[in-house]
Amino acid sequence: MSQQNQKPHSKAAVTGVVVFYLFAALSMVMANKWVLNSTESPLFFLFTQLLIAVAFFLISDTLRFLPDRLHFQPSVCKGLIPMVGLNVVGLSFSNYTLKYVDASFYQVARGLVLPFTVATSFVVLHSRPSLAVLVACSIVTTGFFIGVFLDGTAVSPAGIFFGVTSSMITATHSVVIKQSLNVVGGSALLLSWYTNLLSAVALFPILILAGEGPGVLKMLFGADELVVAQGQMSALSTFLWGSAITGALGFMMSIASLLSIKVTSPITHMVSSAVRGVAASLLGMWLFHDIITTGRATSIAVILGGSVLYTWIKHSESQASVPQYERVKMDDVEAGIRRSDSKPE
């Protein structure tokens, strides 16, 4: 975020960053859903994405494309254990959420990120929210329940479970991220580098213990890959192309999140998030033939409305000269939310 003593960024720069972030985020969700529809190994898919993102980091560092030089220090790794643990579990549950629900419903399934973030800040940081913030959170929660219970469309209980759980993890993640940034000297880029690398290392034994080994071997070497209907891609081809695309997009999301934090305001980011939510629903309907019912559309609108109201309230409170209570910085909250959305949070 720009400090008050810094020159404001131009409209062209802000527009460019917002468009870049929207493109990367939307492409990420759609590409993930495309692959998850055809694979039974979501954790191995996530592991492959992380490895490809790490490779892009190394290539960019070698070519001096990054503002910060990458390094690897065991002491830093030790300090990032809580961050990496939450990242692995959060991303895994996000992938499972996207596997079990429609792309258009993904935002609803993970619609409780904001209320959980406010609740976690209160419990962990003793940051008491204002009445206006609680009203905004109540609106978001109402939107979630409209989509789950009042829509009339059958939804996967497993998808809802993974969505709610990943929302809770994202909320905790947003509290841990400030401490993690201190470990890497405040560099969001280095934090992303370490998080991707260490998450890949931690995820490999987990996917083996989760029983994905046989499914991975079948996909890579199974006879079913030799028999594919004309005009269709095999599961392996879909997996490889999807991994390459989403791995590159994961790296782009790291850069996009960094630029978004530095260039855009909280209100601009929340408006772009609202646009992303609507666009994701429309793309899900177009690409995957999702059904957008009146109840589902109402749910998305209510969640987005509550989120925009929350952002406006926090912006108004930040403009007040007299602080009413100790609050979690909007940068920290948004950084956690952006990082879960970058890979199906």
- Give buried/exposed letters for 11-30 (b at 16+ CB in 10 A, else e): eeebeebbebbbebbbbbbb
Burial class (CB in 10 A: 0-12, 13-18, 19+), 323: exposed
Which residue has better confidence, 343 or 44? 44
In a domain, 30, yes or no: yes
Judge whether residue 311 has pLDDT over 60: yes
The closest alpha carbon to 15, from 25, 23, 26, 5, belongs to 23
Per-residue model confidence as pLDDT tens digits over 51-88? 998 999 999 999 988 888 898 898 899 999 999 999 99
Distance CA 32, CA 315 (A): 33
Which residue has better confidence, 213 or 320? 213
Q: Can you give the pTM of this predicted structure?
A: 0.78
Q: Mean pLDDT, to the nearest integer, of 109-124?
A: 88
Q: How many residues are listed for the chain in this entry? A: 345
Distance CA 307, CA 266 (A): 11
Look at residue 151 and give its three-state secondary structure: coil
Judge whether residue 328 has pLDDT over 90: no
- Per the structure, how many domains does the chain have? 1
Per-residue confidence band for 3, with pLDDT thresholds at 50, 70 and 90: very low
Q: Mean pLDDT, to the nearest integer, of 267-290?
A: 74
Which residue range(s) make up the domain with 259? Answer: 11-212+236-319
Which residue has better confidence, 159 or 7? 159
Judge whether residue 345 has pLDDT over 80: no
In a domain, 163, yes or no: yes
Distance CA 104, CA 86 (A): 25
Judge whether residue 324 has pLDDT over 60: no
Look at residue 217 in the predicted model and tell me its pLDDT: 87
Judge whether residue 333 has pLDDT over 60: no
C-beta separation of 103 from 33 below 8 A: yes
The closest alpha carbon to 115, from 143, 134, 94, 93, belongs to 134
Query: Cβ neighbours of residue 179 under 8 Å, at least 6 residues apart?
Result: 82, 83
Look at residue 58 in the predicted model and tell me its pLDDT: 93
Per-residue model confidence as pLDDT tens digits over 136-187? 999 999 999 999 888 777 888 999 999 999 989 988 887 787 778 888 888 8
Burial class (CB in 10 A: 0-12, 13-18, 19+), 46: buried
- Give buried/exposed letters for 193-210 (b at 16+ CB in 10 A, else e): bbbbbbbbebbeeebeee
Which residue has better confidence, 315 or 265? 315
What Rg do the C-alpha atoms of the chain give, in angstroms?
A: 20
Look at residue 262 in the predicted model and tell me its pLDDT: 61
Look at residue 20 in the predicted model and tell me its pLDDT: 81
In a domain, 335, yes or no: no
| Mean of pLDDT over the chain | 81
Distance CA 25, CA 130 (A): 31
In a domain, 136, yes or no: yes
Judge whether residue 319 has pLDDT over 50: yes
Query: Cβ neighbours of residue 250 under 8 Å, at least 6 residues apart?
Result: 28, 49, 50, 52, 53, 196, 342, 343
Judge whether residue 259 has pLDDT over 60: yes
Per-residue confidence band for 120, with pLDDT thresholds at 50, 70 and 90: confident
Q: Mean pLDDT, to the nearest integer, of 14-35?
A: 83
Torsion angle of C-alpha atoms 262, 268, 273, 276, degrees rounded to 10:
-100
